[in-house]
């Protein structure tokens, strides 16, 4: 029996990965043969995958034109390939989503292993950190909503995977002694294009994040390689997700500003028919001008961001069994944010700040942008699933700040 014991952290992490694979297979065979009531959109994506597999024009896809195809290629293209090989379209879209979710888990397990191996710990600190890493990876793998969303035929899994891949590429690109810089720059570029191909709005946030990050690193020669790959990814991602029949502006700054200005209208559209509609705060300014529109976005941002991250709340927003489950899970999100805030205030710093800088820029941009865009709590709850890994990562690194501060006080006392 000793041969089956897991001795090293690496063995334990990959055991979690193996358990996730088994659980995904089991869930796949227990899902209904019709689109899930939790995510009826998977029926639309499945139909689109079959439509493309039959070599029909995406522009003729009923009710959507080519807009849905262009903005979901990352999941539709591989799913349509499976349909061509004879797989049922609903199964194909679910398998594609699950594969992306599984690959995200593999990538995070690899990164956790590398992070701990490259950092010096005392024996006791290493044991505590390893236990925490295992716990957090288990949460990431099996948190009910995240596990379910990553197995249904939706865009969340590919969106999450390409985000993680993009930030991994940036991290490795800036690592000392890196010899594959052009290859990693290409990886970042491809990841940006594929992020646009899974959810263009997130692609825009990713590009803005990396450009802001680059502004503060202009003295580093590698930054110019990163900027080049980001701009190529932006142009390619934008062009490949914009319909040929619509007007394309090559002034992407202007396009970005227009997209921000369109957020209030999109939120109103997302409220239509929603049983868990997110209410809009009355703005003290007129929204008829651009200045008024952007001012109202800023005014509503704190409330909308809180709603996106933490609602539905128990006993306040619960109107159905699914909202009760969501509200219960949100208690964990609230606890993690309180824990992160407490640890940062006690530790007085964030460890690995240089390595985490791109993620720390992306996170507030994403939650504020998504919060302003969402029109109902059900969709908002699903759309925050791709940032779970960032929250868990912050829980992990802030624990090191507390440990280091405690050890420092202990040395001073001696």
pLDDT (tens digit per residue) in 186-230: 999 999 999 999 999 999 999 999 999 999 999 998 999 999 999
Does 269 have pLDDT greater than 90?
A: no
Kindly report the pTM of this predicted structure: 0.91
Radius of gyration (Cα) for the chain, nearest Å? 22
Distance in angstroms (rounded) separating the CA atoms of residues 377 and 380: 5
Report the pLDDT value the prediction gives residue 21, as an integer from 0 to 100.
96
Nearby residues of 411 by Cβ (< 8 Å), 6 or more positions away: none
Stronger pLDDT, 344 or 22, i.e. the higher one? 22
**Residue that has been written with the tokens 């010899």 in this structure:** 179
pLDDT tens string 23-50: 999 999 999 999 988 888 899 999 999 9
Nearest to 382 by CA among 373, 61, 339, 70: 373
- The one-character DSSP state at 248 is -
Distance in angstroms (rounded) separating the CA atoms of residues 321 and 328: 11
Mean pLDDT of 353-365: 91
Distance in angstroms (rounded) separating the CA atoms of residues 350 and 348: 7
Per the CB < 8 A criterion, the answer to whether 69 and 61 are in contact is: yes
Report the pLDDT value the prediction gives residue 119, as an integer from 0 to 100.
63
Stronger pLDDT, 248 or 328, i.e. the higher one? 328
Distance in angstroms (rounded) separating the CA atoms of residues 199 and 213: 21
pLDDT tens string 176-188: 777 889 999 999 9
Angle of helix 200-215 relative to helix 353-373, nearest 10 degrees, comes to 140
- The one-character DSSP state at 312 is S
Does 2 have pLDDT greater than 50?
A: no
Distance in angstroms (rounded) separating the CA atoms of residues 361 and 352: 14
Does 279 have pLDDT greater than 90?
A: no
pLDDT band at 1 (very low <50, low <70, confident <90, very high): very low
């Amino acid at each position: 029996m000793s041969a089956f014991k897991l001795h090293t952290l690496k063995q334990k992490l990959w055991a979690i990965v193996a358990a996730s694979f088994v659980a995904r297979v089991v869930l796949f065979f227990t899902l209904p043969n019709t689109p899930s009531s939790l995510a009826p959109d998977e029926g639309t994506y499945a139909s689109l995958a079959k439509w493309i597999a039959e070599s029909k024009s995406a522009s003729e896809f009923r009710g959507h034109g080519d807009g849905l195809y262009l903005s979901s290629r990352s999941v539709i293209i591989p799913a349509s390939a499976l349909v061509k090989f004879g797989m049922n379209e609903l199964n194909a879209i679910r398998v594609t989503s699950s594969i992306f979710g599984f690959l995200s888990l593999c990538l995070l397990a690899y990164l956790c292993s590398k992070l701990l191996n490259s950092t010096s710990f005392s024996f006791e600190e290493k044991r505590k950190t390893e236990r925490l890493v295992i716990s957090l990876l288990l949460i990431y793998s099996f948190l009910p909503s995240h596990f379910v969303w990553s197995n249904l035929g939706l865009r969340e899994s590919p969106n999450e995977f390409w985000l993680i891949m993009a930030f991994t590429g940036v991290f490795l690109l800036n690592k000392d002694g890196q010899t594959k810089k052009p290859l990693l720059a290409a990886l970042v570029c491809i990841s940006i294009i594929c992020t646009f191909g899974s959810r263009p709005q997130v692609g825009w946030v990713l590009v803005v994040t990396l450009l802001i990050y680059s502004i503060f690193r202009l003295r580093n020669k590698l930054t110019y390689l990163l900027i080049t790959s980001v701009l190529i990814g932006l142009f390619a991602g934008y062009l490949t997700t914009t319909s040929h029949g619509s007007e394309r502006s090559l002034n992407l700054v202007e396009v970005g500003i227009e997209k921000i200005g369109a957020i209030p209208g999109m939120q109103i559209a997302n409220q239509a028919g929603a049983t868990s509609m997110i209410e809009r705060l009355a703005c003290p300014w007129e929204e008829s001008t651009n200045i008024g529109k952007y001012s109202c976005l800023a005014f509503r941002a704190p409330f909308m961001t809180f709603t996106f991250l933490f609602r539905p709340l128990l006993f306040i927003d619960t109107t159905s069994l699914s909202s009760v489950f969501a509200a219960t899970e949100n208690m964990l999100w609230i606890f993690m944010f309180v824990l992160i805030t407490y640890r940062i205030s006690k530790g007085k710093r964030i460890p690995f700040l240089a390595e985490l800088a791109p993620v720390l820029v992306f996170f507030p941009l994403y939650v504020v942008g998504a919060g302003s865009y969402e029109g109902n709590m059900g969709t908002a709850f699903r759309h925050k699933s791709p940032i779970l890994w960032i929250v868990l990562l912050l829980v992990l690194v802030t624990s090191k700040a507390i440990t280091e501060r405690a050890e420092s006080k202990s040395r001073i006392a001696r």
